[in-house]
Structure 1
Amino acid sequence: MVELPAAIVILATGTASSALFTRRGRGRGFDAPPGPEHDPAGPRVPALGGLSIGVAATAGLAFHRGLDIAGLPLLLGAWVFLVLGVLDDRLDLPVVARVTLELGAALVVAALWGAALDAPIVARALLVPWILVVVNGLNFLDGSDGLAACVVVGGLAAALPFPGVGRIPEIFVLATLPFLFFNLRRPAKLYLGDGGARCLGVVLALVTATSAHYGDLARSTGPVLLPLAELITTILRRAASGSSLIHPDRDHLPDRLLAWGAPVRGLALGGGVLAFVLALLLRV
């Protein structure tokens, strides 16, 4: 488990950075309009929750006794995709540019991961689409406050410990908790943003890929079931309706559940519990 001093640092840093971004992030181009579950006339909300998670996780590592072999590329990958997502939130990148940058980032992260584990070329090549699939699947779930973050927390917590990545999964689970406190308030004070969804998505992708590399297929499957299911259903739905496969829409399952009256907190916590149960069942 994460040592107590590191846990305290993670939670304190996450709380302080979330509070800072809540106060200072509005009006600087990093905020977003209120979501459909909020008052449309309400104030814009800073979308810097992912940055809070990244800062808290990195601070916690300063009190940790070292990284396992895949830990460094995992941490670097989280920051690469976090920065990419924050820039996307700030600049509203065109779809083609966004996909190109995601692909380039995935190639870099896969190369670092493969070098650290001395993985075969085939494994490195397969990691690239795996990263893109998990990152975008989780991003599709980020249509309701707290849902994507709770799915990651629940899925990772149920499958701990993971081989080859040290305590990084626990550290990111702890780093996400202060963000959820600000995100699940009514109204929300802080959004996860594209940066946060991509950061947690690449953590999920690399943790499960490393587990598969070490032969632990149970831990590499359970935590990603919900993001994979959302990605597959989205592709099938868009293909059936003739819609673009890459342009965003507001017709994902979380959007529909909110439209049908599902409570935001209930949806987030329910998603986290479901992810936990699925990962736990596959681990047994």
Structure 2
Amino acid sequence: MLYFFICFVASIILTPFIKKLAIKWNVTDKPNDRKVHSKAMPYLGGLAIYISFILGLILSHEDSPYLWPIIIGSGIIIITGILDDIYDLAPRYKFIGQLLAAVVALVGGFDLEFINLPFGGQMEFGYLSIPLTILWIVGITNAINFIDGLDGLAAGVSSIALVTLSIMSLIQGDFFVLTIALVLLGSTLGFLPYNFYPAKIFMGDSGALFLGYMIAVLSLLGFKNITFLSFVIPIIILGVPISDTFFAMMRRFMQKKPLSSADKLHLHHRLLSSGFSHRQTVLVIYGIAIMFSLAAIIFSMATIWGSLLIIALLLLLIELFAELIGLAGKDYKPILKFMRPRAQNSRYDDRL
């Protein structure tokens, strides 16, 4: 817990400094006809999270073969995010950076080799472990980036996921994952007061990609080579960003649009258009994320049949989630009679 508080305080101190640097270097999200904020907002908030995180790693003196892959991989991803914040990289260049970071993690031992089946036996992935691992890391990295559409949303949802990962690693006695998760949690929570509505600084892609990458590798490390049902735990923990990302990809595929195109059918857009305020929308999604996290903790302690029941209930929840964000119907009109989206509720542009 000491390193948690150190990172928390470091992030609180560093964030205003990074904000001044972003303004001085003109690394800002400038208003235009597609964006709704009326003044330039500084980016690079993710750099404050990253520096605080690295400080925590240094002070913790962790000794693990997984430490250097985490440092190198997160370094690649933070550089990719910073370059995107400054130069607005094309999607293919961001993907290359994410792929390189994922390969570093894979080579460093963050791979899914096999899982134990609930009724006996093992499922060996063999060479499939390589694409599965890369798909998981790149997918979760982008999932956190996709939900970074409102003030404090990505930082808050990531914090909830990190709290859950910390609890789960404590239960399993995995103190390396516990330490890394707490260090990252402290760094993120220290940034959140500056990012919550009304935000004073945006985390940018540097923050969203970094948080997504770290949550992906920590969840993979904490639940690798385990039972099939336990493998579902990290998916449940990240239920909000995974579901939102999945439905966004389905929408764009069915509409024959590029996967990197933007729309206003994400969960936070739907809540805003239904009349919720900016702050209320973020808090509602926090509540949904907490519900998924509690389900994951209960899931980990349930019997096989109890776990299957929880999965069934979560599938029902995801179905309601799909209707809420308006996936049903080929014209993608939402099931609920939402009002027209109110642009003044959002300080962000239409992100992925």
Structure-2 change in CA distance of 1:47 and 1:11 (3 Å): same
Q: What is the aligned residue count?
A: 276
**Aligned pairs (5 A) from 1:31-180:** 31-33=28-30, 40-42=37-39, 44-114=40-110, 122-159=128-165, 160-162=167-169, 163=174, 165-180=177-192
Structure-2 change in CA distance of 1:22 and 1:65 (3 Å): same
User: Is 15-24 or 75-84 further displaced after alignment?
Assistant: 75-84
> RMSD of the alignment, in Å?
2.6
Write the distance in 2 (CA, Å) between the matches of 1:101 and 1:48. Answer: 17
Q: Aligned residue for 1:272? A: 286
What is the letter of the counterpart of residue 244 of structure 2? E
User: Is 214-223 or 53-62 further displaced after alignment?
Assistant: 214-223
Identity of aligned residues (%): 25
Structure-2 change in CA distance of 1:34 and 1:264 (3 Å): farther
Q: Aligned residue for 1:227? A: 241
Write the distance in 1 (CA, Å) between the matches of 2:42 and 2:4. Answer: 25
Is contact 1:222-1:275 (8 Å) kept? no
Write the distance in 2 (CA, Å) between the matches of 1:173 and 1:35. Answer: 34
Give the TM-score of the pair, scaled to structure 2: 0.71
Write the distance in 2 (CA, Å) between the matches of 1:39 and 1:246. Answer: 20
Gaps of 5+ in 2: 114-124, 299-352
Offset at residue 270 of structure 1 (A): 2.9
Is contact 1:182-1:189 (8 Å) kept? yes
Offset at residue 224 of structure 1 (A): 1.8
Encode CA deviations 1:223-281: one digit per residue, 9 max, x unaligned.
22112101111011112222212234444222332344423333333323322221221
Is contact 1:211-1:219 (8 Å) kept? no
Q: Which has the higher contact order (CA 8 A, sep 6+)?
A: 1
Gaps of 5+ in 1: none
Offset at residue 74 of structure 1 (A): 2.6
Offset at residue 56 of structure 1 (A): 1.0
Runs of 4+ in 1 over 6 A off after TM superposition: none
1:11 aligns with 2:8: yes
Write the distance in 1 (CA, Å) between the matches of 2:249 and 2:52. Answer: 34
Encode CA deviations 1:69-106: one digit per residue, 9 max, x unaligned.
43432343223212111111111112222223322332
Offset at residue 167 of structure 1 (A): 0.7
Is contact 1:86-1:194 (8 Å) kept? yes
Structure-2 change in CA distance of 1:49 and 1:144 (3 Å): same
Write the distance in 2 (CA, Å) between the matches of 1:16 and 1:25. Answer: 15
Write the distance in 1 (CA, Å) between the matches of 2:224 and 2:261. Answer: 33
Is contact 2:19-2:42 (8 Å) kept? yes
2:217 to 206, 213, 217: 206
Is contact 2:268-2:282 (8 Å) kept? no
Is contact 1:218-1:283 (8 Å) kept? no
What is the letter of the counterpart of residue 200 of structure 2? K
1:191 aligns with 2:211: no
User: Is 163-172 or 86-95 further displaced after alignment?
Assistant: 163-172
Encode CA deviations 1:89-144: one digit per residue, 9 max, x unaligned.
111112222223322332233222349x9x97543432111111111111110111
